[in-house]
Amino acid sequence: MADTPHPGPSPTGPQTTGHEWDGIVEFNNPLPRWWLYTLYATIVWSVGYWIAYPAWPLVSGYTGGLLGYSQREVVLDEVEAVRRARDARGQAQLATASIAEIRADPALLRLALATGKAAFGDNCAACHGSSATGRLGYPNLQDDDWLWGGTPEEIERTIRYGARSGHGEARVGDMPAFGRDGVLKRDEIEAAATYVLSLSGKPGVAGASVEKGREVFAGNCTGCHGETAAGNPEMGAPNLTDAIWLYGSAPEQVVATITNGRKGMMPAWDGRLDQATIKSLAVYVHDLGGGR
């Protein structure tokens, strides 16, 4: 049955809206005054709340309100205060403990790994990448190939003093510019590149002799890289027998390295980062999987 107009209320009967549906008449009784006053009060309260407290979302935040009060901010401040107090105790322990002691204490180790991960993202990821896998000219810290040694203590020293950073204790190991300085001729450089590439099963420069390269290597390179070309961490000389190449393994890249030398620099973090953070970084980097 369609919604049809009702003849209207009786002068002496209940008030209706004038509509009827299947015999059902909708009354039009007034709301209780107490209910209306409560509704009006909540509307006024909500408007006042919107004005006084943070309420309205914006594109990049929310309205702060006249009072500037937020229970969420209060809770976050309390949580942060507890975290600072906890970290202050932990950081003091990290600063005074040795790396061996940190690794032996599960609670300190967890704190060191968390601190090191945060510090790595802030200070080291720009060069080594957020996942520490490095890129051309910047070492991969997840493999087991270390120019200056991969023990936690050696990693700590490298982080603390850097390489060619200008610090008095910095790691220093310069690769000579054999071509630029006139030590070797072009054909000798190409032969040496072919020889070292052959050690890791890679193709060398077209037409260059492996045997001649072996002779060039023996006369000029074994002092740093060793007779077997396995490298020397005390001098920062890389292992040339593996498949890991810091500056690229293409023949032209290896020729460029021998010709012009390499002098990559890592900053010294001593004095820029506190003791606890430096130790935490060493523990974190070692824990990435490539440490020894």
The secondary structure of 202-246 as a DSSP string is ----TT--HHHHHHHHHHHTHHHH-TTS--BTTTTBPPSSSS--T
* pTM for this entry: 0.68
Cα 233 to Cα 7: distance, rounded to the nearest angstrom? 103
Query: Which stretches does DSSP call E strand in 214-284?
Result: none
pLDDT of residue 8 exceeding 90, the answer is no
**Given pLDDT bands bounded at 50, 70 and 90, which one contains residue 254?**
very high
Taking CB atoms within 8 Å and a gap of at least 24, the contacts of 78-85 are none
pLDDT of residue 249 exceeding 90, the answer is yes
The pLDDT tens digits of the residues spanning 257-277 come to: 999 999 889 999 999 999 999
Give the rounded percent of residues in the chain with a pLDDT score beyond 70. 92
Identify any residues that bridge with 193 across adjacent strands, giving them in sequence order: none
Taking CB atoms within 8 Å and a gap of at least 24, the contacts of 87-91 are 87/111, 91/115, 91/274, 91/276
Identify any residues that bridge with 67 across adjacent strands, giving them in sequence order: none
Q: What is the mean pLDDT of residues 119-124?
A: 94
Q: What is the mean pLDDT of the chain?
A: 89
The pLDDT tens digits of the residues spanning 9-36 come to: 555 667 888 888 888 888 888 889 999 9
- Look at the block and give the residue holding tokens 């390269």: 213
- What type of residue sits at position 195? Y
Residue 97 tokens, joined: 């403990």
- Phi and psi dihedrals of 252, rounded to 5? -65, -30
Distances from the Cα of 165 to the Cα of 11, 30, 171, 191, angstroms: 100, 85, 8, 33
Cα 10 to Cα 191: distance, rounded to the nearest angstrom? 115
Report the length, in residues, of the chain.
292
The pLDDT tens digits of the residues spanning 189-236 come to: 999 999 999 999 999 999 999 999 999 999 999 999 999 999 999 999
Cα 238 to Cα 132: distance, rounded to the nearest angstrom? 19
Q: Which residues contact 76 (CB under 8 A, 6 or more apart)?
A: none
pLDDT of residue 151 exceeding 90, the answer is yes
Query: Which stretches does DSSP call E strand in the chain?
Result: 4-5, 16-21, 24-27
The pLDDT tens digits of the residues spanning 20-77 come to: 888 888 888 888 999 999 999 999 999 888 888 877 777 777 777 787 777 777 888 8
- What type of residue sits at position 156? E
Cα 254 to Cα 136: distance, rounded to the nearest angstrom? 13
Q: At what angle are helices 106-123 and 71-96 packed, to 10 degrees?
A: 110
Q: What torsion, rounded to 10 degrees, do the Cα atoms 9, 10, 12, 17 define? A: -10
